[in-house]
Structure 1
Amino acid sequence: MVEEWSVPGWAVVAAAAALLALLVLLLVLAVSGARARSRARTELAAARAETDGLRERLDALERRVAAPAAPTRTEEFVITRAGEPEPELDEARRAPAVPAPLFADLVLRESVVQAASLAAGVRRALAPEVRNRIRFEVRREIRRSRKQRRADLRAARRDWEARRRGTLDEGSAA
């Protein structure tokens, strides 16, 4: 029997080397995948243990917070005493009563004082010096307003004439 190959020898060796490299690569990938899975399992177990520890701490905190429940008040706290019957006032705490003649005297005296102060104010307001000062201020204000009105009128005329000249200049330029 004749051993003749239809494929050159170096091609067979190259194919075998490529196959061997592929097998080594697959083996490396399988080992690294197994290590990664092992590491992931370890981290998952650590995370679960940490979660369990946190859950226990949370339960302990909830028990501690829930344990000393605040006592409930049965009566409401009220700022005012509105709606309650008034306590009886004893004679010492009551306001002193003023007899009628004394009350009338106090009222008349107060009314007379108010009327006198009003009369003094009116007399001072109608004094000749005050009336002259008022007359002077009114005249000065009238003069100022007339002067201002004239100045406004002059400014309006100047503006109107400037516009009119502007329209005439435009008409002659066209």
Structure 2
Amino acid sequence: MQQWSVPGWAVVGVVAAVVVVAGACLLLTVSLRRERARTAQALARAEADAAALRTQLSGIEQELAASQQVGRQVEDREYVITRLGEEAEVRVPQGPAAPVVPAPVFADLVLRETAVQTGAFVAGLRRALSPEVRHRIRFEMRREVKRARKQRKTERRTAVREWQARQRAGVDLDESAA
């Protein structure tokens, strides 16, 4: 009979660990394949959507080009606003100066622009009121106050020294004149 130098529980533990690692690798492989299949499907759907949007966009561009050619013509005049103070003749454009946008489209544009500006303002306000910024402002204000105090103190000392020197010079002048 042969004796092993390794205890039996250690061998069983190592075998169990190898089985667990192999099972985990198998599960990871299966889940990776499923995820790759889902990703491929999502990519195919995205490409199909992009192609549909491209065709829709080209159709809209063609309709727009056709309506501009048939309907209105936009003036290609340049307006210079740098001749301030000159007497110039008043020009009245012949025909519409700009294309007319339908009311719903105009309202949509205005609302979008307002929403974007409001969002930017709120984000800036949120950032400006964040604790880090308030702390930095407080720190800089303290530093500036200290600097201003130092400056005033230095200027006061200089002014007092000059005044005292003038006083001494005035007293010296009075004594020498007498």
TM range, smaller chain = 0.3 to 0.5
Higher RCO (CA 8 Å, separation ≥ 6 residues): 2
Q: Normalized against structure 1, the TM-score is what?
A: 0.43
Higher-Rg member (1/2): 1
